Structure 1
Amino acid sequence: MLFNVLCVLIAAQVPSVPGLSEVPPAPPLNVHVDNWLLTWPPAPEEGNVTYTVQYSSFDSDVWTDVPACVHISSNSCPVISTKEKGEHGCVMLRVQAERRGLTSTPVQACSKHGDSCTPDFRLTAGARPGSLTVLLSRSHSLAQEHGDHAQHRVYYGKEGAPREEHVDAVSSVTIPELQQGQRYCVEVQYLYFSHPVGLGACARCELVPTAVLVRHSSGKDSKGSEVVAAVVPVVVVLFVVIPVLAYFLIFQRGTIKRWLRPPYQLREDFFLGPFPENLPVCSPPEEHCLVISSFSPKELSD
């Protein structure tokens, strides 16, 4: 017991070493580009925080500092100079916060407007409950030059949560099996040979539709109406169509025969008309005879 008390007293007398309790600053949020001006909200009441902007060119994994945006205290920086660094003007941008030598997790920027390096898309409710459809175009400039090697990567997740799931597609795609009644957000970025290219389009959110169950006043759901809809045609066939057909086949056979008789009729005087005259007369052929000189019965010859 005495040993524990001495340890507490010694620890209270030891001065704290600066920097041992420091933690990295919070990463910037909502980093976006508008007309090549990169902006993000200021850090909430955090002093001595600076920011550094980096870019990555087309089809590259190397991040380079933007010279005009290194250790700046403001929350915006023009990045038009980076456009010429990438093929087709396509670059990716990210920002990280710094304080006393400690850096935050870098956050990639998105673009609010579609251009040759940023896809433009629309988000709508899917045809089935629990799905969303991302409408994409195949006629963008990268696809015209690189064909199907240029695709879209669609990131999605619940609103307020990280968008960790993604799906790759050439054109429009439907995301199934989402939680109904929840809002989901989607971001889209170009791909070149499965490598992210250019600034991604900023997130757009949509409510996932739910299945609607139609109920009748009696309290039965739509399954009861489906059963009734299937039984009614069977009853009509058994009690209406079949008896009518049987009546006509048994008692109206003559009428049916008259209905089936061809419409053409011979004239009543067809067989009573005058026999045609001036028909060609066929004369018998001329006969050729042989003259017998004599003939006598057998008895006379005896």
Structure 2
Amino acid sequence: MLITAKQPSEITLPAHNQGWPTVLAFLCAHFPRIPAERWQQRIRDGKVYWYQGEAITEQTPFLPSRRLCYFREVAAEPKIPFLHQILYQDAHLLVADKPHFLPVTPGGDFVNECLLQRLKEDTGISDLAPLHRLDRDTAGLVLFSCNSISRPHYYQLFQQGQLVKRYQARARLSTNLQPPLSWQLSNRIEKAQPRFINQIVPGEANAQSIVELVGVEGDIGQFQLQPLTGKTHQLRLHMLSLGMPILNDAYYPELLPKNTSDFSRPLQLLAQQLSFIDPLSQRQQHFVSQQRLF
């Protein structure tokens, strides 16, 4: 029996029709791993509909730029045996502390076991939305908007680079390095194959980070990282480019087989600190994760 998501996922149809006569045809092309028969059954069960609530049928024509809702389904969903914390909450903002392995939003094998769903159940706020993402493998701070009216003000913090993020990481040292040492990295990051990993390529820089070696334990370095841009896997790739990939990284330098039930080797990367001026109260805010690397 399939497990169905408690909350719908959303997708905006492309602005240009590339030959899809119906919404069903688009879904089958966009999600090729899901059989057409399953999409047909979801549609018949009312699990696919327009954003405003209007139902669709198997014959509903493709409509460019329209927003679509659908309920994801999985045969089995892993359970993450680690707790999250709410560090701060007001009428507009919630700051959560995420453990390793827990996804922020539904994806892949996860439809309900995610930080967003946990927080909705904790708070009763159905309109809760993450303001940014954190890899499932990474622990630490995640900001959520509590209502849609003030949400754009907080999105602007990220869009305008007005939020300072600091991470901790542990990596095996490539040579006999001693702190203090720092590197300012600037390069171009693009999608690789498979599409969920990235790579550094020649070209105009679109990713910048500051990396500092702040401590040494044997051959393991303790690093503080500050991303100045927000490319996916940016810090992981920048550490790799220094010849010191983050410990227990299942993607870089080698893509390891997927294993959602092994919790023994957490990625040694922590979103430790967030600092910003609240756009509504104009107060300086500073949050520190209670999670720890080991």
Higher relative contact order by CA 8 Å / sep ≥ 6: 1 or 2? Answer: 2
Structure that is richer in strand per residue: 2
Superposition TM-score, scaled by structure 1 size: 0.20
Superposition TM-score, scaled by structure 2 size: 0.21
- The structure with more radius of gyration: 1
